[in-house]
Structure 1
Amino acid sequence: MDKSKKYVLEAPDGGWGYVVLAGFIINVSVISSMNVFYGIIFHDYFVFLKMDSVRLTLLNGLNAIAMSLAGFLTAPLLKYMPQRYLGYSASAAFNFGLFCTVFAQSQLAFFIFQIVQSVGVGMTFNLNTSAVNEYFVKNRVLAISITQTIIAILAFFTPLMIQWCFENFGSRGTLLILCCVTIHMFLATTVIQPVKWHMRRVEITPKEVEANLLLEEHKKITEKMNNTDNGNDEMKEKDGFWQLIRDLLDVKLFRSFTFSMPCVGPSLCIVVDLLFVVFLPQALQSFEWDDAEIAWAFSLISLGDLLTRIAFIILNKWMIRVGNRDIYIAGILIGVGTRLVILSSSNRMLMMAAFTVMGISRCIISIIMVLVVADAVGANQFTSAIGIFMLVNGFEAICLGPVVGALRDYTHSYMATYYLLTSVLGVVGLTWIALIAYNNLRHKRNPSPENVT
């Protein structure tokens, strides 16, 4: 090997990364199927356990809190155990909660086992998303698009399988069969190896070496300035409880990322989108739609979602040029437009077309979210950032959900509820655009050292 040549290590963007993608598909498909569980299987459980709407709302809130906290604590826990071992723990929590739910005979036991399962969901999602983010950098958009497309296709067949099992084996038998399927999460976790084992050596030119040295020097200067500015805070945090917090959490990232638009905006959009879809069947019934028309509406939403996932695979190079943030904002604006059409129109055909386009918006909001977070932080901070994102998402869901429900009960109208949700979505989009315009104007007036370099 020529010692005069300089090399850098880059993410594999393939190779073993494709095996990691396969594990991601297995684990996220299992997590996604949770929606099917509640819709088909747990209905009989709720009747048997005499679960009223208040207890169901409480259960959903506790599950959201458990999942969010588990996702948030994933990064601190990785400081004390390897990624794979933590993945095994998450898989064990998920499978233990699911298996024990089969034998739950009381509301308390049902609540406990479901919360344990939600802890597994939060950690599994964070770990697998972080693994894909580490293995794919240049081809990240393509990797996420392929996996999400396969997961969407599997989602079409999962309800049919669950329904067949339910009709032939009942609730408990179906859950036991699902336990046999979800045990494969351990195999999917096994393939998550440290990315440093599979890094590619890429030769760089002397000019690139010089540029890298300049960037490293700039980072050192920036870090030194930050340390000087925060000197007093660090002195206060050196002892006792604050030192433990600093050891466990990335305090600086928590301060900077928690209230940033790439965190607050996408997490709020996911909450709004989910609430919109949850109320949709009842809303369409109030509009005098029959069951067949409602089914068609959901099918068209799924169609728009699936076609967009396929388009992401084909147009991934174009998406890289445009930028994930701009695509995400466009998805928000598309969502606002289609919802306004649905709310203001009485033409069934126009509304059906709007539902199809709404599927495009839902796909962008759910998929590009991960890429927006990845672009907003460094590669070594992604696990902590996605954990913070999940925590903020859980907090927003707990706060906004009851407000929307109370508005619906007070007004006895889904229109008021939907206009509120659409307004929140619009405010996020417009605020984000205004912040981008402001930052661009500020950078033009005061160029940063990175831009000068």
Structure 2
Amino acid sequence: MIRKKTKIIPPDGGWGNLVVLGVTLAIGTGIAPLQVLFSIIFGNFLSEIGDGPSSVATVTSVFAMCFTFTGVLANPLIQRFPLRTISLFGTMLFMSGAVLNIFVTKTWHLIVTFGILSGMGIGIVLPCVLTSFNSYFNKRRAFMNSLAHLGLCPLYIALPVCFQYSLENYGFRGTVAILCAFEANMFIAAIVLSPVEKHAQKEYELVTVAVNGKNIEKETKTNDGDLEKTENETQLSVENTENETKVHDENLENEPKVNDENTGIEIKVFDESSKLTEDTNNSIINPRENEIAPNNDQSGIWQQIIHMFDLTLLHEWKFINLVIGMAMFFYLDLNFLTLSPMFLIRRGFDPKQVAWCVTSAGIGDFVGRFVLTAFSKYIRFKYWYIYFAGSLITFICRNVFLIEMSQKLMLGLFFVTGFGRSLILTPIPILFTERYSIERFPAAWGLYSVTCGFTNIFLGAFIGSIADYFKNDTYTMHTFTIISSVLITTWFIQAYLENRPKKQ
């Protein structure tokens, strides 16, 4: 009998370069408006209708919640539908909110359009884009990921200036319409998600099993013509062997297996009527091994849920430690950059000085992404340690921030903070692929997104209670320090356990 295995080799370029562009456009059109444009465009509008800064926080929180909790749907959707189909659906959902933003008149309108519709849309699109990106690259994955994030820096620098100019010349409605046209670039990010099988090289491996169980012969061909020739020759050999020996199987549905002691390869023996069977389970794009699909007739609802969302990841304490740490560090970093301008004003800095500090952080972010891109071009390293280093840098900077200092020193501190922030944000899309197969990336991303959602709820309420009770910025920053120190300690322990010398 013959078993044909197909292995997909990522092209590490070609059409994958367009997928890299898709990553930049998806993040730049879906996340950037929340980070750098929402307050500029919608802040004055909300003030004019009688709502204060709390309404801004409400809308952005709803967006973040819908974005994070929708991410958990990525794994079951990707198991059933093509990436491009899912992304186009998410893009249409996102754009429906973007179009309706032009006609909002009240805060709750904005909560529905920007918060719910756009938040759910980007929550569906982003996991698909990142999954496609990871499938197109192997050796160059780290470099291309850094390059995609480096392309975001010009957007973050140019968008606030451009849309401030638009507000002054075209008014609120005109600016929102321009924002809608800009966000339509997400369609490009969805369209370029072509299946990697169309652009990758396929390597076929034919495994011939003698029906008497004696020997296993293997041949590997990368050319389809050679493959057909090999198939014909191997089939003749099998037909001659079948004339001498017959395989009796009382239950063909169980597909008995033959194990070769020398090679350790487990091979299925199929019915004689099936001369050639194709198996893609060992594909690099679909490499989940040693996993048994649930039998719907015998497993319960809970087992189906575990399989659908790949909850077996939660059995690993390293995954839990990684996901919780990433979610909390991301939340603390985002809130520090949001609250630090207000802290500086309370400490006597004027608005222009505060603006320069924020700009210095942006420059540091750009330098960090550029350095990471340059190093990843020639040096291969684990991105988990890069993320760890960035978390440690931002942890130190938040503690130094409490010290009174001049504007020049504060500019340097924000530059270093921005540099450390780039080491946190850039590695996120490929952190999971360093430890798990590409097929498990959507599930890992979904669990990470849900963790971020719960972190925003509980950690936000806890830190908000501390700030309201003490009414002192120093205590709020100390809360950041305590939480970060616990996370860094657990990551130090994990790094030690992973790198300690093994006993002989």
TM-score range normalised by the length of the shorter chain = 0.7 to 0.9
Question: Between Structure 1 and Structure 2, which shows a larger proportion of strand residues?
Answer: 2
- Give 1:10 deviation, angstroms: 1.6
Aligned to 1:451: none
Distance 1:375 1:185 in 2: 27
Alignment of 1:213-224 (within 5 A): none
Select 2:339's aligned residue among 262, 279, 286. Answer: 279
> Are residues 96 and 382 of structure 1, via their aligned partners in 2, closer, same or farther at CA, if it must alter by over 3 Å?
same
Distance 1:182 1:348, change over 3 A: closer
C-alpha contact 1:84 1:190 (8 A) present in aligned 2: yes
Output the CA distance in 1 between the equivalents of 2:406 and 2:68: 40
Aligned residues: 429
Shift of 1:57: 3.8
What is the CA–CA distance in structure 2 between the aligned matches of 1:235 and 1:81, rounded to whole Å? 21
Correspondence list, 1:173-212, <5 A = 173-201=174-202
1:137 is matched with which residue? Answer: 138
User: Distance in 2 between the 1:236 and 1:187 partners?
Assistant: 38
- Displacement of 1:317 in angstroms is 4.5
TM-score of the two chains, using structure 1 as the length reference: 0.86
Aligned counterpart in structure 1 of residue 350 of structure 2, from 283, 290, 305: 290
What is the CA–CA distance in structure 2 between the aligned matches of 1:350 and 1:434, rounded to whole Å?
A: 33
Q: 1:385 to 1:295 in 2, by over 3 A?
A: same
Residue of structure 1 in register with 2:35 after alignment = 35
Matched letter for residue 341 of structure 1: V
Q: Could you tell me whether the CA contact under 8 Å between 2:16 and 2:136 is conserved in 1?
A: yes
Q: 1 CA distance for matches of 2:382 and 2:353? A: 37
Of all paired residues, the percent bearing the same amino acid is: 25
Shift of 1:109: 2.6
Once residues 374 and 483 of structure 2 are traced to their aligned partners in structure 1, the CA distance between those partners, rounded to angstroms, is 32
Structure 1 partner of 2:503: 445
Cα distance in 1, alignment partners of residues 43 and 142 from structure 2:
38
Give how far 1:440 is off.
3.7
Q: Which residue of 1 aligns with 2:305?
A: 245
- The 1:237/1:266 distance shift into structure 2, 3 A limit, reads farther
CA contact (8 A) 1:332 1:426 kept: no
Letter in 2 for 1:94: F
Partner of 1:19: 18
Shifted more, 10-19 versus 351-360: the winner is: 351-360
**Contact 2:306-2:312 within 8 A present in 1 as well:** no
1:92: which partner in 2? 92
Question: Higher mean Cα deviation, 334-343 or 385-394?
Answer: 334-343
Distance 1:144 1:126 in 2: 14
For 2:85 and 2:315, locate their aligned partners in 1 and report how far apart those are by CA, in whole Å. Answer: 29
In structure 2, what is the equivalent of residue 450 of structure 1? none
Listed one character per residue, the Cα deviations across residues 77-136 of structure 1 (whole Å, up to 9, x for unaligned) are 223322111111111111100111211233333221121110012112211111111111
> Is the partner of 1:343 in helix, strand or coil?
coil
Distance 1:176 1:427 in 2: 45
Q: How far apart, in 2, do the equivalents of 1:301 and 1:371 lie?
A: 24
Structure 2: stretches of 5+ with no match in the other structure: 206-216, 221-259, 268-280, 283-287
Shift in Å, 1:264: 1.3
Q: Secondary structure at the match of 2:80?
A: coil
The equivalences for 1:55-134 within 5 A come to 55-114=55-114, 115-134=116-135
| Contact 1:339–1:354, Cα closer than 8 Å, also in 2 | no
* 2:47 aligned partner: 47
Aligned in 2, Cα 1:317/1:161: closer, same or farther, shift over 3 Å?
Answer: closer
Amino acid at match of 1:427: V
Structure 2 letter corresponding to 1:264 = I
Q: 1:185 to 1:236 in 2, by over 3 A?
A: closer
Distance change >3 Å, CA 203–CA 277, structure 1 → 2: same
Q: CA deviation at 1:48?
A: 4.1
Q: Aligned in 2, Cα 1:237/1:340: closer, same or farther, shift over 3 Å?
A: farther
1:395 alignment partner in structure 2: 454
Shift of 1:308: 1.1
| One-letter amino acid matched to 1:445 | K
Is 1:323–2:382 an aligned residue pair? yes
Counterpart check, 1:162 vs 2:221 = no
Corresponding residue of 2:229: none
Contact 1:263 1:373 in 2 (8 A): no
| 1:169 counterpart letter in structure 2 | Y
- How far does residue 298 in structure 1 lie from its aligned partner after superposition? 0.9
Deviation at 1:52, TM superposition (A): 4.1
Give the letter for the 1:352 counterpart: L
2:382/2:434 contact within 8 Å kept: no
Q: Could you tell me whether the CA contact under 8 Å between 2:55 and 2:107 is conserved in 1? A: no
Answer whether contact 2:59 2:110 (CA < 8 A) is retained. no
Partner of 1:421: 480
Alpha carbon RMSD of aligned pairs, Å? 3.2
Instruction: Name the CA distance, whole Å, in 2 between partners of 1:92 and 1:182.
Output: 11
Q: What is the CA deviation profile of residues 408-429 of structure 1, one whole-angstrom value per residue up to 9, with x for unaligned ones?
A: 2221211111122133223222
Aligned to 1:3: none
- Residue by residue over 1:384-415, the C-alpha shift from the partner in whole angstroms, topping out at 9 and shown as x without a partner, is 11111111111101111122222122212111
- Matched to 1:266, the amino acid is M
- Cα distance in structure 1, aligned partners of 2:218 and 2:416: 47
Measure, in 2, the Cα distance between the counterparts of 1:353 and 1:92.
43
Mapped contact 1:262–1:376 kept (Cα < 8 A) = no
Q: Which moved more, 1:27-36 or 1:241-250?
A: 241-250
CA contact (8 A) 1:258 1:389 kept: no
Higher mean C-alpha displacement, 343-352 vs 307-316? 343-352
Distance 1:396 1:128, change over 3 A: same
